[in-house]
Amino acid sequence: MRVNILGNGVWGTALSKVLADNNHEVSFWNKRSQIEALDCVVIAIPAQAIRGVFKNYGRNLKRGVVVNSAKGIEKGSQKLPFQIVKELLGEEIEYFTLIGPSFAQEVSRKMPTLVNLGGYNGKMQEICDFFETDYFRVRATKSVEALELAGALKNVYAIACGVADGLGFETNTRAKLITIAYEEFRKLATDLKYKIDEQARPGILGDLILTCSSIESRNFSFGKLLTRFSVKDSIEKIDSTIEGYNTAFSILYFSEKSPMPLGEFVLRIIEENSPRNVASKFTEFVKRI
């Protein structure tokens, strides 16, 4: 099959290697040109860029197969990738989302990995096979909405775990934060009436654990930096997209639908932008929740 990947960063490049190992013909979208409607288009650009790219360059994609791998919530609209794409291309678009615990560099090195492919239509198994290799396993699920919500929020929660690490808190505290994060997400997903089936564990629980537990995570690293540097300086030191930072500004919107004390705490840390006060605020918060 012929695949057009939107985004040639580390994740888009890692996916291109997976697809090439399955003997697919892979090309990267040439920016500022209309996206070519090949057999499959893979979204590997930041969530905040999806609308602009599809609105300006996606007129050929009305009947294509779109596989999203972006994780985030659009500022302003508070929409997830599946909502943005379907708004622009129509409800009939064959849409799938590929989400799971998968650091790009490890995928490129062929470390054994398990992710989810979320979708509804009859092509589900075909698209799973399309990506699956002996080192990159893909588990099908119908929990599209829950997967994308989890994929966005886990980046916010990873910032909290990075803050804990930067302040010298250890694994007990991190486990507490991950547990609370999972409970917070589940309550929100339930209140939004997003279905979660058992097959969605890699993309929901696995991805949360991975992102909240490793310095390889940009969001975890960002949280750690916030204990010593300003938001601006921390962003500059990461020098790459920090989806959790962008997603944090959607927390108040979602907390109106379901309580999100951990998410709101991360937002306060970002908005107050005071490394000097992070330690006392975090210690008080983590003991209280």
Residues that are catalytic: 154
The C-alpha atoms of residue 266 and residue 282 are separated, in whole angstroms, by 10
- Label each residue of 191-202 as H, E or C: HCCCCCCHHHHH
Residue 137 near residue 153 (C-beta atoms within 8 A): no
The C-alpha atoms of residue 27 and residue 4 are separated, in whole angstroms, by 5
Residues 6+ apart with CB under 8 A from 276: none
The C-alpha atoms of residue 112 and residue 107 are separated, in whole angstroms, by 8
Distance, C-alpha 30 to centroid of its chain: 24
The C-alpha atoms of residue 209 and residue 22 are separated, in whole angstroms, by 29
Residue 99 near residue 140 (C-beta atoms within 8 A): no
Residue 11 near residue 33 (C-beta atoms within 8 A): no
DSSP 99-144: ESS--HHHHHTT--EEEEEE--STTHHHHHHHH--SSEEEEEES-H
Q: What is the largest CA-CA distance in the chain?
A: 55
3-state helix, strand and coil shares in percent for the chain, rounded to the nearest 5: 55, 10, 35
Q: What residue type is assigned to position 174 of the chain?
A: R
The secondary structure of residue 217, as a DSSP letter, is S
